[in-house]
Amino acid sequence: MDRLMNFLVSPVLKWALLVLAVAFPLISSNEYHIYVMATAFIWAIAVYGMNIITGYCGQLNLAHGGFFAIGAYVVAILTVDHEWAFWPAFIAAGLAGAIFGFLVGVVSLRLKEHYFAIFTLCVGFIIYLLLEKWEALTHGSLGIINIAPPEGFGFVDFTETVPFYYLVLAFLVLSVWLVSRLSRSLLGRTFLAIRISDDLAQSLGINLMRNKVLAFVLSTVYAASAGALYAGVVRFIGPAEADVVHTFDMITYLLVGGIGTLMGPLLGTLAITWLTQMLQSLEEYRMIIFGPMLVILVIFFPRGIVGGFLTWRGRRLANKASQQDRGGESQASVQTPSTPSADKQEAGNNA
Protein backbone atom coordinates (compact mmCIF):
# COMPACT_ATOMS: atom_id res chain seq x y z
CA MET A 1 0.00 0.00 0.00
CA ASP A 2 2.72 2.42 1.04
CA ARG A 3 4.75 1.52 -1.98
CA LEU A 4 1.84 2.23 -4.29
CA MET A 5 1.23 5.50 -2.50
CA ASN A 6 4.82 6.59 -2.86
CA PHE A 7 4.83 5.60 -6.51
CA LEU A 8 1.79 7.77 -7.13
CA VAL A 9 3.54 10.91 -5.88
CA SER A 10 7.05 10.14 -7.12
CA PRO A 11 8.57 11.74 -10.21
CA VAL A 12 8.74 8.19 -11.60
CA LEU A 13 5.00 8.32 -12.17
CA LYS A 14 5.35 11.50 -14.17
CA TRP A 15 8.01 9.95 -16.37
CA ALA A 16 5.85 6.87 -16.79
CA LEU A 17 2.93 9.05 -17.83
CA LEU A 18 5.14 10.86 -20.30
CA VAL A 19 6.38 7.60 -21.80
CA LEU A 20 2.78 6.44 -22.05
CA ALA A 21 1.77 9.69 -23.75
CA VAL A 22 4.65 9.39 -26.21
CA ALA A 23 3.78 5.77 -26.94
CA PHE A 24 0.04 6.44 -27.26
CA PRO A 25 -0.04 7.04 -31.05
CA LEU A 26 1.99 3.85 -31.54
CA ILE A 27 -0.34 1.79 -29.37
CA SER A 28 -3.57 3.26 -30.64
CA SER A 29 -3.88 2.94 -34.38
CA ASN A 30 -7.19 4.78 -34.36
CA GLU A 31 -6.45 8.24 -35.68
CA TYR A 32 -9.65 9.62 -34.23
CA HIS A 33 -8.56 8.65 -30.73
CA ILE A 34 -5.24 10.38 -31.25
CA TYR A 35 -7.07 13.48 -32.42
CA VAL A 36 -9.34 13.41 -29.36
CA MET A 37 -6.30 13.05 -27.14
CA ALA A 38 -4.54 15.99 -28.81
CA THR A 39 -7.53 18.29 -28.35
CA ALA A 40 -7.88 17.10 -24.74
CA PHE A 41 -4.24 18.11 -24.21
CA ILE A 42 -5.02 21.56 -25.62
CA TRP A 43 -7.89 21.99 -23.20
CA ALA A 44 -5.68 20.71 -20.42
CA ILE A 45 -3.20 23.53 -21.12
CA ALA A 46 -6.03 26.05 -20.76
CA VAL A 47 -7.19 24.33 -17.57
CA TYR A 48 -3.66 24.61 -16.16
CA GLY A 49 -3.96 28.35 -16.75
CA MET A 50 -7.27 28.44 -14.93
CA ASN A 51 -5.70 26.49 -12.10
CA ILE A 52 -3.15 29.27 -11.58
CA ILE A 53 -5.69 32.04 -11.04
CA THR A 54 -8.55 29.99 -9.58
CA GLY A 55 -6.81 27.02 -7.97
CA TYR A 56 -3.72 28.66 -6.52
CA CYS A 57 -4.75 32.29 -6.26
CA GLY A 58 -8.42 31.64 -5.43
CA GLN A 59 -10.01 34.08 -7.90
CA LEU A 60 -12.81 32.47 -9.93
CA ASN A 61 -12.25 33.80 -13.44
CA LEU A 62 -15.28 33.14 -15.64
CA ALA A 63 -13.77 34.88 -18.67
CA HIS A 64 -11.24 32.12 -19.17
CA GLY A 65 -13.00 30.69 -22.23
CA GLY A 66 -13.02 34.22 -23.66
CA PHE A 67 -9.25 34.41 -23.47
CA PHE A 68 -9.02 30.99 -25.10
CA ALA A 69 -11.11 32.43 -27.97
CA ILE A 70 -8.94 35.55 -28.15
CA GLY A 71 -5.89 33.35 -28.70
CA ALA A 72 -7.67 31.35 -31.38
CA TYR A 73 -8.94 34.48 -33.14
CA VAL A 74 -5.56 36.22 -33.12
CA VAL A 75 -4.08 33.25 -34.97
CA ALA A 76 -7.09 33.04 -37.29
CA ILE A 77 -7.18 36.72 -38.20
CA LEU A 78 -3.42 37.06 -38.63
CA THR A 79 -2.97 33.94 -40.75
CA VAL A 80 -6.11 34.27 -42.88
CA ASP A 81 -6.57 38.03 -43.31
CA HIS A 82 -2.97 39.18 -42.98
CA GLU A 83 -1.27 36.08 -44.31
CA TRP A 84 1.09 35.65 -41.39
CA ALA A 85 2.75 32.30 -40.84
CA PHE A 86 1.44 30.25 -37.90
CA TRP A 87 4.35 30.59 -35.49
CA PRO A 88 4.59 34.40 -35.48
CA ALA A 89 0.80 34.45 -35.10
CA PHE A 90 1.10 31.96 -32.23
CA ILE A 91 3.51 34.27 -30.42
CA ALA A 92 1.22 37.21 -31.13
CA ALA A 93 -1.65 35.24 -29.61
CA GLY A 94 0.34 34.71 -26.42
CA LEU A 95 1.16 38.41 -26.29
CA ALA A 96 -2.48 39.31 -26.92
CA GLY A 97 -3.41 37.03 -24.02
CA ALA A 98 -0.95 38.88 -21.81
CA ILE A 99 -2.05 42.36 -22.88
CA PHE A 100 -5.80 41.73 -22.66
CA GLY A 101 -5.25 39.77 -19.47
CA PHE A 102 -3.40 42.70 -17.95
CA LEU A 103 -6.05 45.23 -18.98
CA VAL A 104 -8.96 43.10 -17.78
CA GLY A 105 -7.06 42.03 -14.66
CA VAL A 106 -6.17 45.52 -13.52
CA VAL A 107 -9.84 46.51 -13.62
CA SER A 108 -11.59 43.29 -12.54
CA LEU A 109 -9.23 42.34 -9.72
CA ARG A 110 -10.26 45.44 -7.84
CA LEU A 111 -13.36 43.38 -7.09
CA LYS A 112 -13.40 40.45 -4.71
CA GLU A 113 -14.99 37.01 -4.61
CA HIS A 114 -18.47 36.81 -6.17
CA TYR A 115 -18.22 40.30 -7.57
CA PHE A 116 -15.06 39.35 -9.39
CA ALA A 117 -16.65 36.17 -10.73
CA ILE A 118 -19.74 38.03 -11.97
CA PHE A 119 -17.64 40.78 -13.50
CA THR A 120 -15.49 38.28 -15.41
CA LEU A 121 -18.63 36.43 -16.51
CA CYS A 122 -19.67 39.71 -18.14
CA VAL A 123 -16.21 40.22 -19.63
CA GLY A 124 -16.48 36.75 -21.16
CA PHE A 125 -19.82 37.63 -22.68
CA ILE A 126 -18.51 40.93 -24.02
CA ILE A 127 -15.68 39.04 -25.72
CA TYR A 128 -18.25 36.70 -27.23
CA LEU A 129 -20.35 39.63 -28.47
CA LEU A 130 -17.34 41.39 -29.96
CA LEU A 131 -16.33 38.23 -31.82
CA GLU A 132 -19.84 37.76 -33.14
CA LYS A 133 -20.76 41.36 -34.00
CA TRP A 134 -17.51 42.95 -35.14
CA GLU A 135 -17.78 41.48 -38.61
CA ALA A 136 -15.09 43.59 -40.23
CA LEU A 137 -12.48 42.11 -37.94
CA THR A 138 -13.79 38.69 -36.96
CA HIS A 139 -16.00 37.69 -39.93
CA GLY A 140 -18.92 37.65 -37.49
CA SER A 141 -21.00 34.57 -36.93
CA LEU A 142 -19.62 32.90 -40.06
CA GLY A 143 -16.35 32.33 -38.29
CA ILE A 144 -12.96 32.04 -39.98
CA ILE A 145 -11.94 29.12 -42.16
CA ASN A 146 -8.65 27.97 -43.65
CA ILE A 147 -6.48 28.94 -40.71
CA ALA A 148 -2.80 28.20 -41.39
CA PRO A 149 -1.52 25.07 -39.64
CA PRO A 150 1.78 25.21 -37.73
CA GLU A 151 4.71 25.09 -40.13
CA GLY A 152 6.94 22.06 -39.81
CA PHE A 153 9.86 23.73 -41.63
CA GLY A 154 10.17 20.80 -44.00
CA PHE A 155 10.76 18.24 -41.25
CA VAL A 156 7.24 17.36 -40.26
CA ASP A 157 3.74 18.04 -41.44
CA PHE A 158 1.58 19.27 -38.59
CA THR A 159 -1.59 18.89 -40.61
CA GLU A 160 -1.13 15.18 -39.97
CA THR A 161 -2.69 14.06 -36.71
CA VAL A 162 0.25 12.23 -35.18
CA PRO A 163 2.88 14.98 -35.58
CA PHE A 164 0.36 17.50 -34.27
CA TYR A 165 -0.29 15.25 -31.30
CA TYR A 166 3.41 15.36 -30.43
CA LEU A 167 3.52 19.11 -30.88
CA VAL A 168 0.65 19.59 -28.44
CA LEU A 169 2.20 17.09 -26.06
CA ALA A 170 5.39 19.14 -26.05
CA PHE A 171 3.46 22.28 -25.15
CA LEU A 172 1.55 20.41 -22.47
CA VAL A 173 4.76 19.16 -20.88
CA LEU A 174 6.16 22.69 -20.94
CA SER A 175 2.97 24.02 -19.31
CA VAL A 176 2.92 21.41 -16.56
CA TRP A 177 6.62 21.88 -15.91
CA LEU A 178 6.21 25.63 -15.49
CA VAL A 179 3.23 25.24 -13.17
CA SER A 180 5.12 22.67 -11.10
CA ARG A 181 7.97 25.15 -10.67
CA LEU A 182 5.54 27.89 -9.84
CA SER A 183 3.45 25.95 -7.35
CA ARG A 184 6.43 24.88 -5.28
CA SER A 185 8.10 28.28 -5.31
CA LEU A 186 7.71 31.26 -3.00
CA LEU A 187 5.57 32.83 -5.69
CA GLY A 188 3.17 29.87 -5.61
CA ARG A 189 3.01 30.15 -1.83
CA THR A 190 2.28 33.85 -2.21
CA PHE A 191 -0.69 33.02 -4.47
CA LEU A 192 -1.86 30.44 -1.96
CA ALA A 193 -1.76 33.00 0.85
CA ILE A 194 -4.04 35.24 -1.23
CA ARG A 195 -6.37 32.28 -1.72
CA ILE A 196 -6.72 31.84 2.06
CA SER A 197 -7.62 35.47 2.59
CA ASP A 198 -6.85 38.86 1.11
CA ASP A 199 -6.54 40.36 4.58
CA LEU A 200 -4.14 37.71 5.78
CA ALA A 201 -1.98 38.04 2.65
CA GLN A 202 -1.79 41.80 3.07
CA SER A 203 -0.90 41.49 6.73
CA LEU A 204 2.01 39.30 5.60
CA GLY A 205 3.28 42.14 3.42
CA ILE A 206 2.01 40.72 0.14
CA ASN A 207 1.05 43.25 -2.50
CA LEU A 208 -2.38 41.92 -3.48
CA MET A 209 -2.88 43.72 -6.76
CA ARG A 210 0.55 42.96 -8.17
CA ASN A 211 0.37 39.26 -7.37
CA LYS A 212 -3.22 38.82 -8.46
CA VAL A 213 -2.56 40.56 -11.77
CA LEU A 214 0.52 38.39 -12.27
CA ALA A 215 -1.48 35.22 -11.67
CA PHE A 216 -4.25 36.50 -13.93
CA VAL A 217 -1.88 37.36 -16.78
CA LEU A 218 -0.17 33.96 -16.49
CA SER A 219 -3.56 32.27 -16.72
CA THR A 220 -4.66 34.29 -19.75
CA VAL A 221 -1.37 33.57 -21.55
CA TYR A 222 -2.03 29.87 -20.96
CA ALA A 223 -5.59 30.22 -22.23
CA ALA A 224 -4.61 32.24 -25.31
CA SER A 225 -1.76 29.86 -26.20
CA ALA A 226 -4.11 26.89 -25.90
CA GLY A 227 -6.62 28.73 -28.09
CA ALA A 228 -3.91 29.41 -30.66
CA LEU A 229 -3.00 25.71 -30.82
CA TYR A 230 -6.68 24.87 -31.09
CA ALA A 231 -7.03 27.18 -34.10
CA GLY A 232 -4.00 25.45 -35.63
CA VAL A 233 -5.53 21.99 -35.40
CA VAL A 234 -9.20 22.68 -36.03
CA ARG A 235 -8.45 25.34 -38.67
CA PHE A 236 -11.99 26.63 -38.47
CA ILE A 237 -13.29 28.73 -35.58
CA GLY A 238 -16.37 30.75 -34.78
CA PRO A 239 -17.66 32.93 -31.96
CA ALA A 240 -18.89 29.77 -30.20
CA GLU A 241 -15.32 29.25 -28.96
CA ALA A 242 -15.98 32.12 -26.54
CA ASP A 243 -19.18 30.55 -25.26
CA VAL A 244 -19.30 30.51 -21.49
CA VAL A 245 -20.04 26.77 -21.71
CA HIS A 246 -16.33 26.17 -22.36
CA THR A 247 -15.42 28.05 -19.20
CA PHE A 248 -17.78 25.90 -17.16
CA ASP A 249 -16.43 22.78 -18.84
CA MET A 250 -12.98 23.80 -17.71
CA ILE A 251 -14.23 24.40 -14.17
CA THR A 252 -15.66 20.88 -14.22
CA TYR A 253 -12.33 19.44 -15.34
CA LEU A 254 -10.65 21.35 -12.55
CA LEU A 255 -13.10 20.21 -9.89
CA VAL A 256 -13.00 16.58 -10.94
CA GLY A 257 -9.23 16.40 -11.20
CA GLY A 258 -8.42 18.50 -8.18
CA ILE A 259 -8.40 22.28 -7.92
CA GLY A 260 -5.08 23.71 -6.78
CA THR A 261 -3.16 20.50 -7.44
CA LEU A 262 -0.49 19.88 -10.05
CA MET A 263 -1.84 16.78 -11.77
CA GLY A 264 -5.52 17.53 -11.19
CA PRO A 265 -6.12 19.59 -14.36
CA LEU A 266 -4.66 16.87 -16.58
CA LEU A 267 -6.48 14.03 -14.86
CA GLY A 268 -9.78 15.90 -14.85
CA THR A 269 -9.56 16.94 -18.49
CA LEU A 270 -8.64 13.48 -19.72
CA ALA A 271 -11.20 11.70 -17.54
CA ILE A 272 -14.10 13.89 -18.61
CA THR A 273 -13.06 13.98 -22.27
CA TRP A 274 -12.94 10.21 -22.53
CA LEU A 275 -16.09 9.76 -20.52
CA THR A 276 -17.81 12.15 -22.91
CA GLN A 277 -16.50 10.11 -25.83
CA MET A 278 -17.77 6.90 -24.32
CA LEU A 279 -21.18 8.36 -23.61
CA GLN A 280 -21.49 10.06 -26.96
CA SER A 281 -24.34 7.80 -28.02
CA LEU A 282 -26.40 9.30 -25.19
CA GLU A 283 -25.93 12.82 -26.61
CA GLU A 284 -27.36 15.46 -24.30
CA TYR A 285 -28.66 12.80 -21.91
CA ARG A 286 -25.12 12.14 -20.78
CA MET A 287 -25.66 14.98 -18.31
CA ILE A 288 -27.92 12.55 -16.44
CA ILE A 289 -24.76 10.63 -15.66
CA PHE A 290 -22.44 13.65 -15.31
CA GLY A 291 -24.68 15.56 -12.94
CA PRO A 292 -24.95 13.01 -10.13
CA MET A 293 -21.29 12.07 -10.59
CA LEU A 294 -20.22 15.65 -10.03
CA VAL A 295 -22.48 16.01 -7.00
CA ILE A 296 -21.04 12.86 -5.42
CA LEU A 297 -17.53 14.01 -6.18
CA VAL A 298 -18.01 17.46 -4.68
CA ILE A 299 -19.55 15.98 -1.53
CA PHE A 300 -16.94 13.28 -0.92
CA PHE A 301 -13.88 14.73 -2.66
CA PRO A 302 -14.20 18.51 -2.46
CA ARG A 303 -10.61 18.81 -3.61
CA GLY A 304 -11.08 16.48 -6.56
CA ILE A 305 -9.48 13.13 -7.18
CA VAL A 306 -5.87 14.27 -6.83
CA GLY A 307 -6.59 16.63 -3.93
CA GLY A 308 -8.53 13.95 -2.08
CA PHE A 309 -5.72 11.50 -2.53
CA LEU A 310 -3.09 13.97 -1.34
CA THR A 311 -5.05 14.91 1.79
CA TRP A 312 -5.62 11.27 2.64
CA ARG A 313 -1.97 10.44 2.15
CA GLY A 314 -0.77 13.51 4.08
CA ARG A 315 -2.94 12.56 7.06
CA ARG A 316 -1.62 9.02 6.96
CA LEU A 317 1.98 10.19 6.99
CA ALA A 318 1.30 12.71 9.75
CA ASN A 319 -0.40 10.08 11.90
CA LYS A 320 2.42 7.67 11.33
CA ALA A 321 5.00 10.28 12.30
CA SER A 322 3.00 11.13 15.44
CA GLN A 323 2.84 7.49 16.43
CA GLN A 324 6.55 7.18 15.99
CA ASP A 325 6.99 10.38 18.01
CA ARG A 326 5.08 8.86 20.88
CA GLY A 327 7.13 5.68 20.62
CA GLY A 328 10.41 7.59 20.57
CA GLU A 329 12.23 8.13 23.84
CA SER A 330 15.09 10.53 23.31
CA GLN A 331 14.83 13.96 21.75
CA ALA A 332 16.76 12.69 18.76
CA SER A 333 14.25 10.00 17.95
CA VAL A 334 11.48 12.58 18.13
CA GLN A 335 13.18 14.62 15.46
CA THR A 336 14.16 11.85 13.07
CA PRO A 337 10.78 10.48 12.03
CA SER A 338 9.31 13.88 11.33
CA THR A 339 12.10 14.94 9.01
CA PRO A 340 11.71 12.27 6.33
CA SER A 341 7.97 12.70 6.39
CA ALA A 342 8.46 16.42 5.79
CA ASP A 343 10.55 15.56 2.77
CA LYS A 344 7.90 13.19 1.53
CA GLN A 345 5.36 15.85 2.11
CA GLU A 346 7.22 18.02 -0.30
CA ALA A 347 7.25 15.25 -2.83
CA GLY A 348 3.53 15.00 -2.21
CA ASN A 349 3.06 18.61 -3.15
CA ASN A 350 4.57 17.81 -6.51
CA ALA A 351 1.73 15.48 -7.29
Partner 1 sequence: MLKISNLTKRFGGLAAVNNVSVEFPANQVNAIIGPNGAGKSTFFNLVAGAMPPSEGKIEYQGMDITGMAPDRIARLGVARTFQTTMLFDQSTVLDNLIVGHRLRTQSRLWDVIINSKRLRDEEKKCRSRAAEVLDFVGLSHIGHRYIADISQEERKRVAFALAMATDPELVLLDEPAGGINPEETENLADLIRKMVKHGITVCLIEHKMDMIMSLADKIMVLDHGEKIAEGTPEQIKNDPVVIEAYLGSEQDVEA
Q: What is the DSSP letter of 283?
A: G
202, 277, 323, 333: which one contacts partner 1 (CB under 8 A)?
202
Cα(238)–Cα(70) distance, rounded to whole angstroms? 11
- Which residues, at least 6 apart from 273, have a Cβ–Cβ distance to it below 8 Å? 36, 39, 40, 43
Q: Which residues of 58-93 are buried (b: 16+ CB within 10 A; e: fewer)?
A: bbbbbbbbbbbbbbbbbbbbbbbeeebebeebbebb
What character string, x for contact with partner 1 (CB under 8 A) and - otherwise, covers 305-324? --x--xx--xx-xx--xx--
Query: Least distance to partner 1 from the beta carbon of 324, Å?
Result: 11
Query: Least distance to partner 1 from the beta carbon of 208, Å?
Result: 7
Whole-angstrom Cα Rg for the chain? 22
Query: Least distance to partner 1 from the beta carbon of 331, Å?
Result: 10
DSSP H or E segment with residue 145: strand 144-145
Query: Least distance to partner 1 from the beta carbon of 97, Å?
Result: 15
- CA-closest candidate to residue 65, choices 231, 234, 212, 249: 249
Query: Least distance to partner 1 from the beta carbon of 180, Å?
Result: 11
Q: Which CB sits closer to partner 1, 126 or 206?
A: 206
- CA-closest candidate to residue 228, choices 170, 161, 150: 150
Q: Are 145 and 90 in contact (CB under 8 A)?
A: no
- CA-closest candidate to residue 116, choices 68, 62, 197: 62
Query: Least distance to partner 1 from the beta carbon of 314, Å?
Result: 6
Distances (CA, A) of 168 to 24, 129, 233: 13, 29, 10
Choices 1-9, 119-127, 198-206, 242-250; region in contact with partner 1 by CB under 8 A: 198-206
- Residues numbered 147 to 186 that lie near partner 1 (CB under 8 A) are 178, 181-182, 185-186
159, 252, 336, 345: which one contacts partner 1 (CB under 8 A)?
345
23, 103, 204, 289: which one contacts partner 1 (CB under 8 A)?
204
State the number of binding residues for partner 1 (CB under 8 A). Answer: 43
Query: Least distance to partner 1 from the beta carbon of 74, Å?
Result: 23
Q: Which CB sits closer to partner 1, 4 or 186?
A: 186
What character string, x for contact with partner 1 (CB under 8 A) and - otherwise, covers 245-284? ----------------------------------------
99, 156, 187, 234: which one contacts partner 1 (CB under 8 A)?
187
- CA-closest candidate to residue 166, choices 1, 303, 38, 33: 38
HSE-CB for 113 with a 13 A CA cutoff: 5
98 binds partner 1 (CB under 8 A): no
Query: Least distance to partner 1 from the beta carbon of 202, Å?
Result: 4
Q: Are 250 and 32 in contact (CB under 8 A)?
A: no
Q: Which CB sits closer to partner 1, 120 or 180?
A: 180
Q: How far is CA 3 from the centre of its chain?
A: 29
Binding site for partner 1 (CB under 8 A): 178, 181-182, 185-190, 192-193, 195-197, 199-208, 214, 218, 303, 307, 310-311, 314-315, 317-318, 321-322, 325, 334, 338, 341-342, 345, 349
